[in-house]
Structure 1
């Protein structure tokens, strides 16, 4: 049986679905081959409940600073994998205050 297109699989699956199923999201940069793993619940704190096929282009690689080579894959955690996989966790969200100045006449 032929393999199904990965984008079609992800189109019907959302962040909340992946969080409820206990899955991990593996984001990989195809340019520099760096892999990041995230918990869907952490990403739900940063964005709305979006379809997973739209989520890959929201990431940017920290090593090469590219966005167009990012791919996303859903990973199910199996028995021997906990304790061995590196997963990024959301610690806190900070907002940056940036002053905007305007020159005016007195």
Structure 2
């Protein structure tokens, strides 16, 4: 039997579904081969609840500065991986204030 397209599997699964199931999201840049893992509940603080097939377009690689080579996989945690698997955690969110000026006549 042929393998199902992985993006079709992710279409029916959202960030909140992955967070409720205790899964991780593994984001990989296929250009420079850098991989990071994220908790879905951390990503829910930054974005709305979207399906996982759309999550790859929201990431940008910090090393090669590209966004068109990003892929997202769902990882189920096993007991032997606790304490060994590297995961990125959200520490804080900062807001940048940028003034916008307009020239007018007095």
Q: Is TM (by shorter chain) over 0.5?
A: yes
Counterparts of 1:8-27 in structure 2 under 5 Å? 8-27=8-27
Deviations 1:11-59 (A, max 9, x none): 0100000000000000000000000100000001111110000111100
Bigger helix fraction? 2
CA RMSD of aligned residues (A): 0.9
Residue 56 of structure 1 is matched in structure 2 by 56
Which consecutive unaligned segments of at least 5 residues does structure 1 have?
Answer: none
Give the aligned length.
Answer: 106
For structure 2, list consecutive stretches of 5 or more residues without a partner in the other structure: none
Aligned to 1:103: 103
Aligned counterparts of 2:9 and 2:36: Cα–Cα separation in 1: 20
Aligned equivalent of 1:4: 4
Q: Which residue of 1 aligns with 2:94?
A: 94
Name the SS of the counterpart of 2:81 in structure 1. coil
Task: Report the Cα offset of residue 72 of structure 1.
Answer: 0.3
- 1:37 is the counterpart of 2:57: no
Spell out, residue by residue over 1:52-106, the C-alpha distance to the aligned partner (whole angstroms, 9 max, x if none).
Answer: 0011110000000100000000000011111111111011111100011122333
| Partner residue in 1 for 2:46 | 46
| Structure 2 residue aligned with 1:28 | 28
- After the TM superposition, list the runs of 4 or more consecutive aligned residues in structure 1 that deviate by more than 6 angstroms: none
